[in-house]
Amino acid sequence: MPNFTDVTEFILLGLTSRQEFQVLFFVVFLVVYMITLLGNIGMIILISISPQLQSPMYFFLSHLSFVDVWFSSNVTPKMLENLLSETKSISYVGCLVQCYFFIALVHVEVYILAVMAFDRYMAICNPLLYGSKMSRTVCVRLISVPYVYGFSVSLICTLWTYGLYFCGNLEINHFYCADPPLIKIACGGVHIKEYTMIVIAGINFTYSLSVVLISYTLIVVTVLRMRSADGRRKAFSTCGSHLTAVTMFYGTLIFMYLRRPTEESVEQGKMVAVFYTTVIPMLNPMIYSLRNKDVKEAVNKAIAKANLG
């Protein structure tokens, strides 16, 4: 029988063991984190105070920004702390809590992206019914499902993580508590956790991505039938930002979670994780603002109003 260890804490190996890079990484990720907070919180405030941004698209975008704030905040502060700490530890309970919120927020975000794709389909393919079909009540119901489902699924997944047993090696080859590196160092309960992680990730990514792909297939068909070149350009411009966000987020997550944890995949996944935990939450407000005329106008009006005040 394996000699199981009574775990009280783990050691996070982080991005690199080279001391000369620790301070540099701390400064870089601190700046990225502050930009992420300012960008996403700014987007939420802008949408809430701007009359021209009171449509379903911006309602869903405000929730995407809200999730990005918590997604980044679940990982980055502990990573920053460990970059300047000698112990680089995280408690067992803290590790499970981090796993829980990470899995929950990932599921919430992928389904918000799917809801946003459905919203674009309704706006472009059914413009005459858009106002009635996407009422405030409908939007609240649509946005509630990702939250309820994401946090419920995460509870089940975290209980399976709790079922992992460890035999002495408590060094996690990552900068936060993630399932693949935990599975790699576990010596018991591995098979059910590994199997369920791949199956649940596969089902949810496939289902949510199918909603996105079907919505955009119907959008492309509708746009190509438009006689007005200006109408086609406007329709594609409203979808471009969302497609960029979808491609970045799904691509990195699929690379991380839809394959078996090995030494090589864990090491590669650590590099990819930097992108979707810190870079993507920072980029989303920029993607949606720089390519969006309504957001630019709302920003200009808010600045003008602040100067007058």
pLDDT tens by residue, the chain, 309 residues:
456 677 888 999 888 777 778 889 899 999 999 999 999 999 999 999 888 888 898 999 999 999 999 999 999 999 999 888 888 889 999 999 999 999 999 999 999 999 999 999 998 888 888 888 899 999 999 999 999 999 999 999 999 888 888 887 888 888 899 888 888 888 888 888 888 888 888 899 889 989 999 999 998 888 888 777 776 777 777 777 788 888 888 877 776 666 665 666 666 677 778 888 888 888 888 887 766 777 877 777 877 777 765
CA atoms within 13 A on the CB side of 36: 27
Please check whether residue 147 is in contact with residue 101, taking contact to mean a CB–CB distance below 8 angstroms: no
Residue 18 backbone phi and psi in degrees, to 5: -80, 120
Torsion of CA 276, 278, 281, 286, to 10 degrees: -110
pTM: 0.89
Q: What's the maximum distance between 2 C-alpha atoms anywhere in the chain?
A: 74
Q: Which residues contact 54 (CB under 8 A, 6 or more apart)?
A: 47
pLDDT score, position 70 = 94
**3-state secondary structure string, the chain?**
CCCCCCCCEEEECCCCCCHHHHHHHHHHHHHHHHHHHHHHHHHHHHHHHCHHHCCHHHHHHHHHHHHHHHHHHHHHHHHHHHHCCCCCEEEHHHHHHHHHHHHHHHHHHHHHHHHHHHHHHHHHHCCCCHHHHCCHHHHHHHHHHHHHHHHHHHHHHHHHHHCCEECCCCEECCCCCCHHHHHHHEEECHHHHHHHHHHHHHHHHHHHHHHHHHHHHHHHHHHHCCCCHHHHHHHHHHHHHHHHHHHHHHHHHHHHHCCCCCHHHHHHHHHHHHHHHHHHHHHHHHHHHHCCHHHHHHHHHHHHHHHHC
Q: How does 89-110 read in b/e, with b if 16+ C-beta sit within 10 Å?
A: bbebeebbebbbbbbbbbbbbb
**Homologous superfamily of 9-294:** Rhodopsin 7-helix transmembrane proteins (1.20.1070.10)
Rounded CA separation 246/114 (Å): 9
